[in-house]
Structure formats: structure tokens, C-alpha cells
Structure 1
Amino acid sequence: MGFYDLSKNERQQAVEAIKAALCEDLVEDSSLTSTITYFSDPDTYVRKAAYLSLSKLYFAFPKYRDTILKRLDGLMVHADFRIRQTVINTAGEIGKKDFGSVMPIFDKGLLDGHHSPRNAVVGSIKKMGEVNPAPVLKWARSYLHHQDKEIRREICHGIELRGRKHPEDILPLLKELQHDKTARVRNTLVHVIGQIAYKKGCLQKVLDHLRSWENQDLVEAALEEIIDVHERYKTFAAMSQDEARKFIATVFG
């Protein structure tokens, strides 16, 4: 039976049981039986309940923080990719307030051999960058020119969410990727530019910044994507597609 096959009351009880079991793993110098069981559960929502619970314990009980960090670091070499993925998601919750303590986990996660932990890194960068941008974006910048094209692409994708409300925070980082020769990185870059341009007050900031970019082919691709996004997300866009097209023409005409 899956987590969401349970009633609301049963789910609440299950979450409390998971939290209590994880806490026992911290109090006792155990073999992390409960942590491993819940972190490796096939049900996504069980794993989510586990990483949310452990991150709450991290902030609720400062005396256990070092223990939690050591346990998380140790589990980053576990053979089960789900466990490594859940470790990264736990670190992502902690990193919303305390990124410095979990940064080494993300250094390792970017190099993980399985796509699920790496996807968890991208998702965590998004949620951390939205609420704790300064240290997260500083860290992200250090990987913008990594030799691995997938790491460059994942960093580009990860910083997107912060840019949807504050494009000025990530545009300087995106600019550093404008001459990247890898198609997957360029495509992600163009996608992200489109995603940060359609909300109220964002298009002007994006266009002003793009005017300073040297790679005109990429700028042209980005402008086309911006116009297209205003149609694809017309329900949420601050302008209609036609208004966006005319506004772009006034800036780049």
C-alpha cells in the first residue's frame, strides 16, 4: 500500500512514526536501520516524509546537527541510488537556511554516477536558491565552467527558479555560458532565459542584460524562445505574445 493510499489521519501517523524512528537512529549509535529503510523506500512520498522529518530534526535539535551531517555524508557512498537521492533532498531542505554545512554533499552529488541523485541536486539548487540565494549562487558559479557538460547544464537549470522572480540575480551567471559549445548546455541556457522573462517586471531586466551579450546567435535564439514562452504560458505571462514581440522590437529594433 502506497503512502497516498492511506487516509489523511493514517498519513499523519505514518509521518510521526518515521520521524520518531529517525530520531531513535540519532539518539542511539545504531546501524541506521530506520534511516536506510525509509531513505530507500520505493515510494517517493515515504522518502519525502523521511527527508523532511530529518531536516526538521536538524533544526529542532542543534546537539544532533553534527551527527546528522556525518550520517548524511556517510550515506553518500551507499550503493542504493535512492538513498543517495534522499540524502541530497535532505541536504536541500537544510541548505535553505544553512547551505555552508551541506555544501560538500552537493559537491559529491554533482558527480554521482546515477541520474536520480543528480536530478535531486538540480531540484535542491532550485529550492535553496529561491530562499537562500547568496551562498547557493556563489557555489553554483564555481561550476559554470566545469569540464563535464552535464554539470554545466545542471547548474544552469538549477538556478532557474531564483531567476523567475529575480532575474538580475542569475543573469550574470547565465552570461558566462553564452559561448558554451555544447548543444545541451546552450539549449538549457535558452530555455532558462525564456523561463525568467515572462513574469511581471522581468522582461525588461532580461532584455537589458541580453543587450550586453556578445553571442548574437544565442541572443536571437533566446528572443525567439521568450516570444514563444509568452504564448505557451499565456495564462501566467504578464504580457501577451504580441505585446512581448513589440516590446522586444523596441529594445532591439
Structure 2
Amino acid sequence: MIKGEIKDALLSYSLQKSHVCYSDEDTYIRKSAYLVTGRLYSEDATLRPAILAMLFKFMSDPDFKVRQTVINAAGEIGKQDFEGVRFYFDEGLKDPHHSPRNAVIGSVKKMGEVNPEAVLAWAREYLHHEDKEIRREICHGIELRGRKYPEDILPLLAELQHDHTSRVRNTLVHVIGQIAYKKGCLAKVLAHLESWENRPLVDAALEEIIDVHHRYRNFTALTQAEAITLIDAHYPDRKRKSGRVAN
């Protein structure tokens, strides 16, 4: 139903029905709308100019829900055509409402899984942005790619190791912990951290990795004890904190 309404709106150049879906109070309806938009873009090349025109018009809508849905739709399109929709992520990072900004993070995560080269190149441009929230959001956004391919995002994360804002550094430590517990990732993370210059931040990241291997113990590739053994092999001079090994 939603697919038909949006397609009809695009073909008739009357966007009222699409706007109703994009602004609906029901999150499920808005999700269906942006998934349908991405699907139509992929399936029918003749609709692409109309889809992009619709997104451009809706991006200036005063309703944050519409702008959020636009960015999520752009995220679906960006899985295959990032350059065609990068404008929406540039604008979304500056949005005054947190929901569109969160949609940027979510979109970067899903696009980065399947279209990493373009997305990570874009993300790198914002790593040293003057706005600390943008730096934090970019750090958070690239996390998902790192859970399977930590080598892809570790060089970008390293650029944030001297960030002067604690909120950004805390997010950085969190992301390192999140990518380190997946199968085959911890050794890669530890090897890369050895080249980092900010040893206090590295120590904080190591403690986070140890904690994660307890908090997520039902999902980690290694036990906490195995993780500690591997960490100690890379950092034999590390000062252990008491009580770190959980039963």
C-alpha cells in the first residue's frame, strides 16, 4: 500500500501522499516509507530523478520527522549510490533536532557495511570538524563496519586519539570496545593500538575491552580471561586493575 502510494505520488508529481507517510507519527509507517523509497530507487531508474527531487524538497520541511525519514531514505539509496545522496548527510549532521542527526549515524552504519569506500572517505572529512558532536557522531557511525572489518576504521579512529573533548574520547573508547569482541577482531585491534601515541587513552580502551568481554560474555568470541591473556601478550607492562576477571 505504502509503496503504491509513494510510486503514484512520484509519477503524478503530487507529493502529498508521500509527505503523509514521511511525517506519520507511527515509526513503522515512516520506516516503511523510507524502505520503499530505497527500493523504488533501486528497481526503477526512471523514477530516480523524481525521488531525488522529492527528497530535496522534503529536506527543508519544518517537521523533524520528515527530515529524519529523508535521511533514512538517503541511507537506503546510499548503499549503492552514495555520491547521489551525500548532500543529505552533510545537511543532517547540522540539523537542529537530534532525530535527523541520529538518522545520519544509523545511515552511515548501514551504508558502511555494503559501500565502505565511499562512506568512509566521506566520514574522514568530518573527523576534525570544529563541532565536537559531529566528530562524536562520525566516530559512532563508522562503528558497525569495524565489527567485521576493524582494519577499515582503525586508521580513522586513530585520528581521534588526541581529541580534546572528553565526550568524543569516551565515544572512541566505547567504539573500540564494540569492535574488539567480535570473532577475529581483538588481535587486529590490539596490533593497531600499539602504534597509537596516546597511551592513557589506549589504557582506557584496554579496560573497556576487558569489561565488554564480561558484559557481553554470551556473545563474545573469546572469554574475558582469554582476552586478558591476549592483551597482556601485546602489553606486558600494562598495569592491571584488581578484580578485572569475572567468574
TM-score (norm 2): 0.94
The structure 1 residue matched to 2:3, chosen from 5, 12, 19, is 19
2:131 aligned residue: 148
CA distance in 2, matches of 1:150, 1:204: 30
Q: Aligned letter for 1:124?
A: S
Equivalent position of 2:93 in the other structure:
110
Q: Quick one: which of 200, 203, 227 aligns to 1:217?
A: 200
Alignment deviations for residues 53-94 of structure 1 (CA, whole Å, 9 cap, x no partner): 111111111011111112101211100000000000000011
Letter in 1 for 2:30: R
1:53-72 pair list within 5 angstroms:
53-72=36-55
Higher share in helix: 1
Runs of at least 5 residues in structure 2 that lack an aligned partner in the other structure = 237-247
Output aligned runs, 1:53-92, within 5 Å.
Answer: 53-92=36-75
Moved over 2 A (4+): none
> CA offsets per residue over residues 131-156 of structure 1, 9 Å max, x none?
11000000000000000000000000
SS at the partner of 2:221? coil
Pairwise CA distance, 1:249: 0.4
- Report the counterpart of residue 195 of structure 1 in structure 2: 178
Aligned length: 236
* 1:24-43 matched pairs, under 5 angstroms: 24-30=8-14, 32-43=15-26
Give the superposition deviation at 1:238: 1.1
Q: Distance in 1 between matches of 2:167 and 2:79?
A: 28
Aligned-partner residue type, residue 173 of structure 1: L
User: What's the Cα RMSD here?
Assistant: 0.6
Structure 1 residue 200: Cα displacement: 1.4
Q: Which residue of 1 aligns with 2:245?
A: none
1:100-179 equivalence runs, <5 A: 100-179=83-162
Q: How far apart are the structure 2 equivalents of 1:215 and 1:67?
A: 49
**Using the alignment, how far apart are the partners of 2:134 and 2:152 within structure 1?**
20
Q: Is 2:222 the partner of 1:239?
A: yes
Counterpart Cα distance in 2 of 1:167 and 1:57: 32
Q: Which runs of 5+ in 1 are unaligned?
A: 1-16
- 1:98-125: CA deviation from partner (whole Å, max 9, x where unpaired): 1111101111011100000000000000
- Post-superposition shift, 1:29? 2.0
1:208 counterpart = 2:191? yes
Partner SS for 1:55: helix
Task: Please say if 1:230 is aligned against 2:186.
Answer: no
Cα distance in 2, alignment partners of residues 176 and 131 from structure 1: 23
State the shift of 1:38 in Å.
Answer: 0.5
In structure 1, distance between residues paired with 2:222 and 2:46: 51
